[in-house]
Structure 1
Amino acid sequence: MATEEIQSPELSVADQLDNEIANLRVQVDSIKRELKLQTATLITSESTRQIIQDDSGRKSRQTRSSRSQELLAKADEQNAHKQQCLYRACASITTFKVSDPDPNAVDGGNVLGLRFEVMSKSRFLRPYYVMLNRPYPNSRYLRIHRHTVPQSIPLSGIAARYLPPPAAKDDVDVKKQDLTTFARTLRRELVRHQNRSAVIGDLRKSAGLESKDAKAKEGEVSVVDISAADAQAKQIRVEWSDGRSGRLVIDDDGDIVKMVVQGENGQDREAVRQLIGGSARIEEVTKRLEST
């Protein structure tokens, strides 16, 4: 698919050639990715594998095609990759054991690890990890030892609710730990956070902010920046070329809570209406920006 390019008449011939070369490189990278995807799809199909095996079997061991062996090896590698992806997609939370090398570690250095898989735009992100140990004497209660969870995730609050410390001897209210609910709640928060962060990127793309070649028409008021205004990505900052700025607030699941736009004369409700209209979710705002 050819990339449309908006060029200014002031651009020199050298600048135009540089832009054309950059566009061609983008197209080449896209074609390479598509070729790699189609090759992986063909080589793992049962009919293709049978053809390669039949061709290899008709030849003697001395004259067997090295190319056929290479294709079979790549097919096995791709099948293993597909199996791994299927496992990561179905088993989004997995556990494993770790041994703490510290000689003074609690519980003999035994650590329980939780691995959380999160996907975004059909790609697996780097997994998040939570390490748990048992520091309480004569108790099997767990406590968070180490983790790679972003600071914007309320991990301490989730742990306080589902992994409370053991009660004192004279405490009548004994709270049990629920590791399963803790893991599910934490992964839900991780997915929500990633989805909110990803939708901000979609908004920028729909507004044309990710395109280096796109330029606003002379005299046209346009959105010049869309970014997260807080660590949790629940507040989105929107800025216009005429100096107006707005704040779009969404909840955990991407539902629009409210939006306020501030201009020279105070609140600009017309700008709010033009941007979100009757949208109830942030994804609907993305579609509105694409259509404008």
Structure 2
Amino acid sequence: MEQPALDPQLDEEIANIRKEIAALKTRRSILTSTLLSSSAIQSRITKHITPPTSRKTCRKNSKSHPLLPLLRSQTTHNATNIYRTLTSTTAFKVLDPDPHAVDSGRVLGIRIDIFDRDRFVQPYYVLLNCPWPASQDLRVHRHTVPAFVGLQKLATRWLPVPKEQGQGQGRAEEEAGDADTSTTAPLALQTNVRAQSLPRFVKTLRAELVHHHKRVTAIERLQEELKSTKSSLNQSRQTSESGFSVAAINMLDTTGRELELQFTDGALGRVKVGKKGEIEGAVVRPPNAGDDTSKQGLGKRKADIERRIIGLDGGGRIEGLLERMMA
């Protein structure tokens, strides 16, 4: 039996219809969420479901009203978002199913929520346990924090190991497996161990994560701004007259601490970004400066552009980089 011939035009129409359906579903979800979040709409729906004159007689019918599950779901969603926005960190208790886990499997979990670009990013989790029977001090057991944040350093500072527990560290580290066991230091280094501070640990860790997301977001917006600026200049054909010479902005690492600027004339710049988004330093070399291996050639730099990047007062940030370059 012969298969029907494929019609590319028909396939394209079907694909477009599917895209339109997906877009309409998304719009419907947004509109539903917006309407159900309004206190006025919620009040009207509640009055419609249970009118004052017949509240008792309509109680059974109101439970099966199609709008009621949507209203409850949206109310719960709104409350969750408000909680995550205001608290930003949540502590919870879990039980390790491993029968050989320390402290009878009791684990304290910390959830860190970060709001970035009009949405909540994937939460970060830190699990802590207490491997020392004679102490209530905690140790990092598992976590989902990226390595470049430096959780080990923060744990060493704010969750130091009690010095009297030096003999039991080997077994505890063995139990932790691939966890962040380096938070436990040798007994010889624990002569002046201070008390642990879990609130300071969580607060500092969240601050590091927030700084990271803000840096990356600022760089991404800078790249979007560069693309938009180049497009508008190309349309008006004013690229050469405006003196704008930045061709590309690249992030050299996942932390957003180092940037590479490529210029239209072939010059190359390196920018060092501080933890909070401030620009700490910049080096811009002219085209083919790397080909000249002499001392004079390696020392060639574009000081005027470097000053623009850093800022005349030395307080430049990522956010205003393109504005300073076009000034």
Indicate whether the TM-score tops 0.5: yes
For residues 85-109 of structure 1, give each alpha carbon's deviation from its aligned partner in whole angstroms, at most 9, with x where no partner exists: 0011111111111212222221221
Which residue, out of 194, 201, 204, partners 1:185?
204
Alpha-carbon offset, residue 206 of structure 1: 0.7
Question: Are residue 51 (structure 1) and residue 44 (structure 2) matched?
Answer: yes
SS in 1 for 2:261: strand
Question: Are residue 240 (structure 1) and residue 263 (structure 2) matched?
Answer: yes
Which residue, out of 78, 86, 105, partners 1:82?
78
In structure 2, what is the Cα distance between the partners aligned to 1:103 and 1:212?
Answer: 62
Q: Give 5+ residue unaligned stretches, structure 2.
A: 1-11, 166-186, 290-299
Residue equivalent to 1:256: 279
Question: Are residue 143 (structure 1) and residue 136 (structure 2) matched?
Answer: no
SS in 1 for 2:160: coil
Residue equivalent to 1:200: 219
In structure 2, what is the Cα distance between the partners aligned to 1:103 and 1:78?
Answer: 40
SS in 1 for 2:132: coil
In structure 2, what is the Cα distance between the partners aligned to 1:251 and 1:91?
Answer: 27
In structure 1, what is the Cα distance between the partners aligned to 2:194 and 2:49?
Answer: 65
Q: Is residue 309–residue 316 contact of structure 2 (8 Å, CA) maintained in 1?
A: no
Number of residue pairs aligned between Structure 1 and Structure 2 = 266
Rg (Cα) greater in structure: 2
Question: Are residue 104 (structure 1) and residue 100 (structure 2) matched?
Answer: yes
Name the CA shift for 1:212/1:192 in 2 (closer, same or farther; >3 Å).
Answer: same
Question: Are residue 271 (structure 1) and residue 267 (structure 2) matched?
Answer: no
**Percent identical residues:** 34
Normalised by the size of structure 1, how large is the TM-score?
A: 0.75
Pairing of 1:29-40 with structure 2 (within 5 A): 36-40=29-33
SS in 1 for 2:82: helix
Amino acid at match of 1:103: P
In structure 1, what is the Cα distance between the partners aligned to 2:32 and 2:141?
Answer: 44
SS in 1 for 2:137: coil
Please identify, of 122-131 and 242-251, the stretch whose mean Cα deviation from structure 2 is larger: 242-251
Pairing of 1:5-44 with structure 2 (within 5 A): 36-44=29-37
Pairing of 1:219-230 with structure 2 (within 5 A): 222-230=245-253
Q: Is residue 261–residue 272 contact of structure 1 (8 Å, CA) maintained in 2?
A: yes
Residue equivalent to 1:161: 157
Alpha-carbon offset, residue 259 of structure 1: 1.3
Residue equivalent to 1:284: 320
In structure 1, what is the Cα distance between the partners aligned to 2:46 and 2:239?
Answer: 65
Residue equivalent to 2:180: none
Name the CA shift for 1:181/1:257 in 2 (closer, same or farther; >3 Å).
Answer: same
Q: Is residue 129–residue 149 contact of structure 1 (8 Å, CA) maintained in 2?
A: yes
Question: Are residue 131 (structure 1) and residue 122 (structure 2) matched?
Answer: no
Name the CA shift for 1:52/1:134 in 2 (closer, same or farther; >3 Å).
Answer: closer
| Bigger share in helix | 2
In structure 2, what is the Cα distance between the partners aligned to 1:259 and 1:76?
Answer: 54
Q: Is residue 252–residue 260 contact of structure 2 (8 Å, CA) maintained in 1?
A: yes
Name the CA shift for 1:103/1:213 in 2 (closer, same or farther; >3 Å).
Answer: farther
Q: Give 5+ residue unaligned stretches, structure 1.
A: 1-17
Alpha-carbon offset, residue 288 of structure 1: 5.1
In structure 1, what is the Cα distance between the partners aligned to 2:132 and 2:318?
Answer: 45
Alpha-carbon offset, residue 269 of structure 1: 2.5
In structure 2, what is the Cα distance between the partners aligned to 1:165 and 1:176?
Answer: 9
In structure 2, what is the Cα distance between the partners aligned to 1:103 and 1:51?
Answer: 54
Q: Is residue 110–residue 126 contact of structure 2 (8 Å, CA) maintained in 1?
A: yes
Alpha-carbon offset, residue 34 of structure 1: 6.7
Name the CA shift for 1:240/1:34 in 2 (closer, same or farther; >3 Å).
Answer: farther
For residues 140-190 of structure 1, give each alpha carbon's deviation from its aligned partner in whole angstroms, at most 9, with x where no partner exists: 221111110011111111111111111148976342111111111111111
For residues 78-127 of structure 1, give each alpha carbon's deviation from its aligned partner in whole angstroms, at most 9, with x where no partner exists: 12111000011111111111212222221221111111111111211111
Q: Is residue 310–residue 317 contact of structure 2 (8 Å, CA) maintained in 1?
A: no
